Amino acid sequence: MQNISLKSIKWESIKTIFHSISSAKTISRADISAETGLSLMTVGKVADALLGMNVVHQTKETHKTAGRRAGVLSINPEHFALILDLTNRNFIMTVINIRLEIVEKHHYAFNDDFTFEENLSLFLKDAYKFLSTATNAGKCIGVGVSLPGAYSKETDRVIGDRLPELSGIPIYETVRRMFSDMPLYIEAGYNAAATSNISIIPNHRDKVILYWFIGENNICGTIVEGGEILRGAHNTAGNFGEMMVGRGRTLQSAIKISNPPEENASMLARAIYNVMMTVDPDRIILECELYKNRDEFVELVHKCLLEQFPASDETIPLLTNSTCKFRHSHRGLTMKLTEAWLSRLVFTGTE
């Protein structure tokens, strides 16, 4: 592959242009320039380089007015990531292209006759067989692994007891044995979901953002500042479920699907207020899997914040539901793998 030099252009500008193209079905160079604030010359140079690398396609505009039709750009969907979800015993393998569209999804049925490690090995073998026999296997940009807790690179273990059997298994070593020649990215599911969710927020790299995940017996979250995840001294920052909310109860033990929504909203508002007063975020994203009408529950939490605490609409940051269309950690992992793949193409000319 020919390496088209973009050394004179900042990496952030290249990523911004790529994301502008990937978030649109088709888009012109002029529209990218207007959307990103980058010069038309910069946009044109990056677009031409991405065309040369076969990262994007170009077609003519389909308008009926007279005059020359400009070329519009779209992401080439043939490249994809393989995402392995290990957040529960029924593992999931998902194929997602760099347009962030699901191509295929396969569920693994956990077999109680085998040990956890044996089940994991069978799942990884199935995933490897799928990839090795795929006609477009050479277009895989990498493998992403979603974990039920924080991941420590130093010990190569997942931290936490949501899936105790997994905490004793070396994650990178185990996955690398099967996918020896593939780029590999490992992340806690909630951190990957935060990566996905904050991407829709304009200028998110200039903001402090709180991401909360609320599930049955699973409450966690992520603090993001400057586009970077706050991990803490032991990689466990964002363990919101362990916050004490009164009478010796943690938030995770207090919130139950059997509770009235008003009770859960009140408990959650108390915890959100404590974190909010500590980090002073610009935005809070609330991902709640307890209720079908998630927007209604978010509004209920906002109401509790206003009624129970010395806060006003001016001091409470914007509180919103997630807008992702499918499992958010999968999307976030694909975004990270795509960014790393794009960097390799731009700076080394290799996939």
Our measurement of the distance from residue 217's CA atom to the centroid of its chain's CA atoms, rounded to an integer in Å, reads 21
Q: What is the CA radius of gyration of the chain?
A: 22
Tell me if 210 is assigned to some domain.
yes
288 and 342 belong to one structural domain: no
Distance from C-alpha of 199 to C-alpha of 19, rounded to nearest angstrom: 10
137 domain-assigned: yes
Asked if residue 186 is part of any domain, the answer here is: yes
Residues 317, 208: one domain? yes
Query: Does a structural domain hold residue 112?
Result: yes
Answer yes or no: is 197 within a domain. Answer: no
Task: Please identify, among 75, 93, 121, the residue that sits at the C-terminal boundary of a domain.
Answer: 75
DSSP of 154-177, one letter per residue? TTTEEESSSSGGGGGS-HHHHHHH
What's the rounded mean pLDDT across residues 225-235?
91
Q: What angle do CA 252, 214, 170 make, to 5 degrees?
A: 80
Q: Are residues 95 and 150 in the same domain?
A: yes
User: Are 113 and 188 part of one and the same domain?
Assistant: yes
How far is residue 215 from each of residues 58, 166, 194, 274, 289, measured CA to CA in Å?
43, 20, 15, 20, 5
Q: Are residues 273 and 221 in the same domain?
A: yes
- Domain range spanning residue 24? 11-75
Same domain, 214 and 180: no
Do 152 and 214 share a domain, yes or no?
Answer: no
**2 lies in a domain?**
no
Spatial separation of the C-alpha atoms in residues 77 and 18, rounded to whole Å: 13
The model's pLDDT over 284-298, given as tens digits with 9 standing for 90+, comes to 999 888 888 889 999
CATH number at residue 155: 3.30.420.40
User: Would you say residue 32 has pLDDT above 60?
Assistant: yes
Q: Do 221 and 310 fall within a single domain?
A: yes
In a domain, 4, yes or no: no
For range 55-64, the mean pLDDT: 76
Neighbours of 265 (CB within 10 A): 25
pLDDT at 246: 77
Residue 57's CATH number: 1.10.10.10
Cα torsion 67, 73, 74, 78: sign: positive
95 phi and psi angles, rounded to 5 deg:
-100, 120
The angle at the Cα of 302, spanning 300 to 304, to the nearest 5 degrees, equals 70
Q: Can you read off the two tokens belonging to residue 288?
A: 């709640």
Q: Which of 75, 92, 111 is the last residue of a domain?
A: 75
Q: What are phi and psi of 265, to 5 degrees?
A: -65, -40
Q: Do 169 and 236 belong to one domain? A: no
Tell me, yes or no, whether 142 and 206 share the same domain. no
Contact 18, 49 (CB under 8 A): no
Is 1 contained in some domain? no
Bridge partners for 187 per DSSP: 146
pLDDT tier at 315 (50, 70, 90 boundaries)? confident
Predicted structure pTM score: 0.89
Residues 155 and 303 in one domain: no
The whole-angstrom separation of Cα 308 and Cα 319 is 16
Residues 226 and 131 in one domain: no
Q: What is the pLDDT of residues 107-159, one digit of tens each?
A: 999 999 999 999 999 999 999 999 999 998 899 999 999 999 999 999 999 99
- Mean pLDDT computed over every residue of the chain: 89
The domain total for the chain is 3
pLDDT digits (tens, 9 = 90+) for 172-188: 999 999 999 999 999 99
Residue after which a domain boundary falls, among 21, 51, 75: 75
Specify the pLDDT at position 68. 47
Distance (Å, whole) CA 25 – CA 234:
41
CA distances from 218 to 82, 257, 311, 347 (A): 25, 12, 27, 40
Return the number of other C-beta atoms located less than 10 Å from residue 203's C-beta: 8
Residues in the chain: 351
